[in-house]
Chain A
Amino acid sequence: MDVSTAVICELLRAVTEKDIHEEDVISESRYLEDLGLTSIQLVDLVMAIEERFNVEIEDVDLAKLRTVGQTVDYLKQKT
């Protein structure tokens, strides 16, 4: 599965039910502060990522996934 900002954006739209456009999201976009996710939506995003990429993200790794870019890099290593 191709890991990209576009895929993360697609999952963000599904989780938040908001119209999040790819051009508004950069690698440094922070989920909570910049994209306005609630903590529950962030967990929903992590679960959606796990399902989409068939990976299990450990609790200790959650703190590393604060931005879209961090998530893409993490998934590239994992998959």
Chain B
Amino acid sequence: MKANGAIGITGTGSYVPRTPVTNEQLASVLDTEAEAIYRVTGIEQRRIRDERENVYVMGALAGLRAIEDAHLRPDQIDAIYCAIDPLGEVSVPAAANLVQYLMGMPLLQTKEGGKAPNYCPSCDVVAGCCGPLFALEAAVGRILTDRHLRNKRDTKVLVVAGDSMSNVVNWRDRETAMVFADGAGAVVVEDLEAASSREGVVALDASRPMGVLSIDVASDGDKADLIHQFSQNRATQPGEPSRCEGVTKRRFVHMKGAEVYRHAVRRLTASLKAAMAQAGITDKDIDHYLPHQANLQILRKVFGDAIPKQLDRQVDGSKVYTWGIVWEGNCSAGTLFVALDQYNRSGRLSPGMTLAMPTFGAGLAWGTVVLRWHKPAKPKIDWETFQTDRDREHDPRAEAMYAQYLDMVSRMEAAPGPR
């Protein structure tokens, strides 16, 4: 098969917490009504993690699922880029290191029981809700660097994106509590010609461009105040006590919702146009829009009549995916790849389909990726059945990963020095 150097997504995975928090539950905390929450956000319920489902566990599970979907093993991954903001958990080292660790890659063994660690480079590319696009672009860059500087054409990069927004949400703040949620998604990115040597990964011939057709990304640091979260730490001088000492107050995420709405609509619209122009296509060529699930009002403003006035629990009546925001909430960096994974696994993607995935968030940062799908289609599953099965799915690796995480925390806490 000839792929003309195309680079694309060969595997998808995701993990969202199993427990929903409904508007009714939230309404009493926020001293409002469930209907008012739906009217402002379009959200019916959001997924909020329990103690064990921390962002590293969610990211590692999503990562392993993407690797399996690409018909690969963890020992075959060459690099990991993570769009995961620690949000009050482990700031150093990078989240990517903990995700790599929880996926067991440094501890891999040979069949005979000898050590066979995969020390693939792992780092974070964090850009709020836009992180998955920046990390995807870094992955494409890594593949091109290997191709041109290392003469290596079979590089396999894992991109993991997700957030645990409940770490930093003030449940009495309407601007954030109504919207944010937890979850993570992941993709494997590869040179498609190299990937086609594996059975069932690449189905589309190179009669027209495929894989990543275009990526448009941009940032505006002048709007950094619109969505922000301070860490607790501040610089100190020698001899001065740490300003963290005695501080127990959580530092919450803050958002200026009205301004964010306006910039989101403006930037998402412009970025979609730019990415489609870069790819040489128009909106008529797009089969599915899988936008960042920020807020239904934003999506309605950007996509207009393409989103039905009355939404049901299905997704097939619209080219624009909005199910995630209604039923899972806004899990920040997680939503893009969670949506892609749901469409891939439920059989809604087939070779030759063109997808546009615009996103917008803290930074401000925004962007769009346009993809032409090339993986063989999976059997199509009724959407409600698919979601019910997904909720019932129990992944026993989650418990083991959390135990492994706690083990690492105790090792960290054993480091010398006052705390």
CB within 8 Å of B: which residues of A?
38-40, 42-44, 46-47, 59, 62
Q: Do B265 and A47 have beta carbons less than 8 Å apart?
A: yes
- Contact pattern, B 282-302, Cβ under 8 Å of A = 1, otherwise 0: 000000000000000100010
Q: Given contacts A47-B265, A47-B266, is CB(A40)–CB(B297) below 8 Å? A: yes
Q: Do B259 and A39 have beta carbons less than 8 Å apart?
A: no
* B: number of interface residues (CB 8 Å): 13
Q: Do A40 and B40 have beta carbons less than 8 Å apart?
A: yes
Q: Which one of A38, A39, A59 has the greatest number of beta carbons of chain B within 10 Å?
A: A59
For B258, the chain A residues whose CB sits under 8 A away are: 39-40, 42-43, 62
Q: Which 6 A-B pairs rank lowest in CB-CB distance, beginning with the nearest?
A: A43-B262, A43-B258, A59-B259, A39-B258, A43-B261, A40-B297
For A43, the chain B residues whose CB sits under 8 A away are: 258-259, 261-262
Instruction: Please list 21 pairs of residues, one from A and one from B, whose beta carbons are closer than 8 Å in the complex, sorted by A's number.
Output: A38-B40, A39-B257, A39-B258, A40-B40, A40-B258, A40-B261, A40-B297, A42-B258, A43-B258, A43-B259, A43-B261, A43-B262, A44-B301, A46-B262, A47-B262, A47-B266, A59-B223, A59-B226, A59-B256, A59-B259, A62-B259
- Contact pattern, B 254-272, Cβ under 8 Å of A = 1, otherwise 0: 0011110110011000000
For A42, the chain B residues whose CB sits under 8 A away are: 258
For B266, the chain A residues whose CB sits under 8 A away are: 47
For B301, the chain A residues whose CB sits under 8 A away are: 44
For B265, the chain A residues whose CB sits under 8 A away are: 47
The docked-state distance in angstroms from the alpha carbon of A39 to that of B41 is: 12
The docked-state distance in angstroms from the alpha carbon of A62 to that of B256 is: 12
The docked-state distance in angstroms from the alpha carbon of A42 to that of B258 is: 9
For A40, the chain B residues whose CB sits under 8 A away are: 40, 258, 261, 297
B217-240, CB < 8 A from A: 223, 226
**In the complex, what's the smallest C-beta–C-beta distance from B343 to chain A, in angstroms?**
28
Identity of the chain A residue whose Cβ is nearest the Cβ of B263 in the assembled complex: A59
For B226, the chain A residues whose CB sits under 8 A away are: 59
For B256, the chain A residues whose CB sits under 8 A away are: 59
New contact pairs (15) apart from A38-B40, A59-B256, CB-CB < 8 Å: A40-B40, A40-B261, A40-B297, A42-B258, A43-B258, A43-B259, A43-B262, A47-B262, A47-B265, A47-B266, A59-B223, A59-B226, A59-B259, A62-B258, A62-B259
B308-347, CB < 8 A from A: none
**In the complex, what's the smallest C-beta–C-beta distance from A33 to chain B, in angstroms?**
16
Identity of the chain A residue whose Cβ is nearest the Cβ of B226 in the assembled complex: A59
The docked-state distance in angstroms from the alpha carbon of A76 to that of B262 is: 22
For B40, the chain A residues whose CB sits under 8 A away are: 38, 40
**In the complex, what's the smallest C-beta–C-beta distance from B202 to chain A, in angstroms?**
42
For A46, the chain B residues whose CB sits under 8 A away are: 262
The docked-state distance in angstroms from the alpha carbon of A38 to that of B36 is: 12
**In the complex, what's the smallest C-beta–C-beta distance from B65 to chain A, in angstroms?**
36
The docked-state distance in angstroms from the alpha carbon of A9 to that of B265 is: 23
**In the complex, what's the smallest C-beta–C-beta distance from A67 to chain B, in angstroms?**
17
The docked-state distance in angstroms from the alpha carbon of A59 to that of B258 is: 10
For B261, the chain A residues whose CB sits under 8 A away are: 40, 43
**In the complex, what's the smallest C-beta–C-beta distance from B122 to chain A, in angstroms?**
37
**In the complex, what's the smallest C-beta–C-beta distance from A4 to chain B, in angstroms?**
24
**In the complex, what's the smallest C-beta–C-beta distance from B216 to chain A, in angstroms?**
20
**In the complex, what's the smallest C-beta–C-beta distance from B305 to chain A, in angstroms?**
14
The docked-state distance in angstroms from the alpha carbon of A44 to that of B262 is: 8
The docked-state distance in angstroms from the alpha carbon of A43 to that of B301 is: 11
Q: Which one of A39, A40, A42, A47 has the greatest number of beta carbons of chain B within 10 Å?
A: A40
The docked-state distance in angstroms from the alpha carbon of A44 to that of B256 is: 15
The docked-state distance in angstroms from the alpha carbon of A55 to that of B297 is: 23
For B259, the chain A residues whose CB sits under 8 A away are: 43, 59, 62
The docked-state distance in angstroms from the alpha carbon of A44 to that of B264 is: 12
**In the complex, what's the smallest C-beta–C-beta distance from A46 to chain B, in angstroms?**
6
The docked-state distance in angstroms from the alpha carbon of A39 to that of B174 is: 13
**In the complex, what's the smallest C-beta–C-beta distance from B273 to chain A, in angstroms?**
15
For B297, the chain A residues whose CB sits under 8 A away are: 40
Identity of the chain B residue whose Cβ is nearest the Cβ of A40 in the assembled complex: B297
The docked-state distance in angstroms from the alpha carbon of A43 to that of B256 is: 12
The docked-state distance in angstroms from the alpha carbon of A46 to that of B226 is: 17
The docked-state distance in angstroms from the alpha carbon of A42 to that of B40 is: 13
The docked-state distance in angstroms from the alpha carbon of A43 to that of B40 is: 13
The docked-state distance in angstroms from the alpha carbon of A38 to that of B40 is: 9
The docked-state distance in angstroms from the alpha carbon of A35 to that of B66 is: 51
The docked-state distance in angstroms from the alpha carbon of A42 to that of B223 is: 20
For A44, the chain B residues whose CB sits under 8 A away are: 301
